[in-house]
Structure 1
Amino acid sequence: MLVIFLLAWINFNAEIASPSLALRAGKVLRYIALVGTAGAVVTTGFAWRDGYWTRSARLHYSVVTLLALLFVWQLSLLRILPL
């Protein structure tokens, strides 16, 4: 996302006239982030319910999932991801 933003910022006038492929791909990445986060939430629930992995691995996965949820929340607050 950062690379796409920087490319769009460097060529700002050109991007307004005709969005590049990178910028259009960035619009798809937000939905991929949402689907991946939803999958991580479901997988975390299964991991804790069924006792997959070790306790420390489950805790690590839960923290990563929490960070993914915070990322999606930030995308929503910035109105990048319409929820």
Structure 2
Amino acid sequence: MDTGLTASEQRELETRLQKRQVKEFMTVFGNLVDNCFNACVDDFTSKALSGRESGCISRCVTKSMTTQTRLGERFAELNAAMTAEMQKR
């Protein structure tokens, strides 16, 4: 596929896309950490997590990751349906 970009422009575009993806990942990861920490950690009398806190964080992360996966799948399903509808026209 010819993008009409020079090799230098293509490299610059790829670099910018990679930086954006890293930034977006760090935002999502940071939100996950904040949400699970705030939901699960409430005892600051010890440096170590309690068993309850550890289990809560594990469930929180699993649930968040499962939700993100399902949202991605649903988005792909809707996108495919919209694309198919557009191609019918």
Higher relative contact order (Cα pairs below 8 Å, separated by 6+ residues):
1
- Which TM-score band (shorter chain)? 0.3 to 0.5
Q: Which of these two proteins has the greater Rg computed from alpha carbons?
A: 2
Task: Output the TM-score relative to the length of structure 2.
Answer: 0.40
